[in-house]
Amino acid sequence: AVEAKLRPWVTLVHGTLPGWFADDERGFAEPASRSSWWARHVDRTAEALEDLAAGWVPIEDPIGSAFRGHLLGIRPPGRTNPEAAQVAIEGALEATFEAWRLLQSGDAPVMGVFGAPSVFATSPEGTIGGDRVRSQAGQQALDLARDQTLHWEQVLWDPWLRALSDGEMAWPWRSPVDRPELANAFDLVGVVGDHPVALDGNGTTWPYPAGARVDATGGAPLPEELGVALRRIHDRLDEQKLVVAGWGVSTTDDDWRNELLRDVVAQVESAAVDGIPVVGLFHDALLDGYSTAGWGPVPGFAGPRGLVTRNRRLKESGRWLSEHITGRPPAGSLS
């Protein structure tokens, strides 16, 4: 990659953890595992790749990954114990900050990457947010959904934003703790968010908006919500440099991908014009492969996300993005 004049960023954890660490050593939920096995892994990787890495990402979406795997049970390890999930979610964020502490002594920048989906309330009657609900039962269902939405916001958004902006670690299930060393952590803050999420009163996820086209994950991509997320984060973190650290759509329809990608790039460029310090965008992914993205069923090979096929043929979406970046037509394949 370096010889090809690429500047690879290295993500230490993206997806599942090895069983010996997650099960035998209790993963990030165990403080001793974070300070021993995890810290050693960070140090060894940094030493081995320090001359090759353009930048570091400790954990891709630490809170969201733990949330999906330990509370919703839709990703490995597939658990749904609320109390254990709280410990796992806290531990994943602590592991991210621990890796930042170790990596910041090097020359390459460190980016904290966080899931930032817009979350909306929905009722069985199909009403979102503040729209009028006709029946009393529907209103009660929507009130429950709003409670669920607030809880998701307090878990997925508030802890890392408050840590970075205020130097305070806060979770909805415990009192805030002053952590001044975390204020302004990371050289860059990365945002991942393929699509918004709607929640009913039972905490079940639905596409938003209702009736919109969905991809293989069951989510409905809505590029303008990425723009909303960038502005929301900027309002809290002021001049912190931001990166769209992962956006993609799980679909075999590359025409749809191309359309959405153009809208996503337009949102990023619009944010930059408005003075928001967005300095980069990573597409998820380069190559088609087995995908576990999203808040719904695992798309696997049925939901390709790449700009390039598995036989190294450049798709039209990849062709457009390459030419938009470089100003010249790309080659038709990778070799």
Is residue 329 over pLDDT 80? yes
Supply the pLDDT for residue 126. Answer: 63
Supply the pLDDT for residue 85. Answer: 97
Supply the pLDDT for residue 4. Answer: 83
Closest CA to 115 of 194, 4, 220: 194
Mean pLDDT of 117-124: 91
Q: Which two tokens stand for residue 122?
A: 């929905």
Supply the pLDDT for residue 302. Answer: 95
**Non-local CB neighbours of 1 within 8 Å, separated by 6+ positions:** 8, 52
Q: Which two tokens stand for residue 45?
A: 């990787």
Mean pLDDT of 168-179: 98
Domains, the chain, in order of start with CATH, read: 9-117+157-326 (3.20.20.80)
**Structural contact between residues 318 and 304, judged by C-beta atoms closer than 8 angstroms:** no
What is the torsion angle, in degrees rounded to the nearest 10, for the CA atoms of residue 199, residue 200, residue 206 and residue 207? -70
Q: Which helix (H) or strand (E) holds 31?
A: helix 31-33
> Average pLDDT of the chain?
94
Mean pLDDT of 66-90: 96
Mean pLDDT of 304-329: 96
Helices (runs of H) and strands (runs of E) counted in the chain: 10, 11
Q: Which helix (H) or strand (E) holds 299?
A: none
pTM of the entire structure? 0.95
pLDDT-derived band at 129, boundaries 50, 70, 90: low
Instruction: Tell me the helix, strand and coil percentages in the chain, rounded to 5.
Output: 40, 20, 40
Supply the pLDDT for residue 138. Answer: 80
Supply the pLDDT for residue 139. Answer: 84
pLDDT-derived band at 6, boundaries 50, 70, 90: confident
The CA-based angle 57-60-64, given to 5 degrees, is 150
**Structural contact between residues 305 and 284, judged by C-beta atoms closer than 8 angstroms:** yes
